Amino acid sequence: MGSLIEELKRDGSLVLWHRYNIGSRLDRSGQGNDGTLSAGCFWDGGGLSFAANTDEVTVADVAGLRLTTGSIVVAGEFMSQTATEYLLAHDNAGSGYSLGLNATQLLFTGDGVARTIAATLTGCRSLGATFETGNTPIGYTNGLSIGNFSGSVTVTGASVATEIGNWANSGRCKSALHQAILVNRILTPTEMATLHGELMELS
């Protein structure tokens, strides 16, 4: 029986998979959604780090990333933060989606409305969310559900570049990122746990 990641690649559900832990910005999903690194990005101990608030990975806008239903998983070595930091955003200041964190919360934003869920994030190896427009997104740490965010969201398909490690120069991630994944459907809790395990094996 093959891996979940390979299954998601075969059926076209996996729309972005970056493996920064091997020093690559290229998309391994088969969809061609390669990243472009800003000048201050640097490879740091098996991950990708961001030197300044203008630094990020950008992925050109394509229809396949304008999700209204999906799953986000970002792997790294996360530490407690004092301000909002963005892990991944496809957000055009009022439409789209993003996943971020602060010192005590995981954050999901849909169409400009931020929803939160209290969580202990220091030491987590992966953070994630599943979402569907009109419903309440679910947060994940280390592949395990930590419950619902604080309300339902509307998510429309924004025509905008995807930003990883930042959003609109307003909150770079201060933790090194190892991998980033986008799936165009809601993964089940079992699948999220399996995906976390596979990413850890590849870290």
| Tens of pLDDT, residues 52-89 | 999 999 999 999 999 999 999 999 989 867 788 999 99
Tokens of 23: 């020093």
Mean pLDDT of 171-200: 97
pLDDT recorded at residue 198:
98
Q: pLDDT tens digit string along 4-26?
A: 999 999 999 999 999 999 999 99
**Does residue 1 have a pLDDT over 70?**
no
**pTM: predicted TM-score of the whole model, two decimal places:** 0.96
How far from the centroid of its chain's Cα atoms is residue 165's Cα?
Answer: 9
pLDDT recorded at residue 70:
98
Where do the domains of the chain lie, and which CATH numbers do they carry? Answer: 4-201 (2.60.120.200)
Mean pLDDT of 171-182: 95
CA angle, 33 as apex, 192 and 4 as ends, to 5°?
A: 25
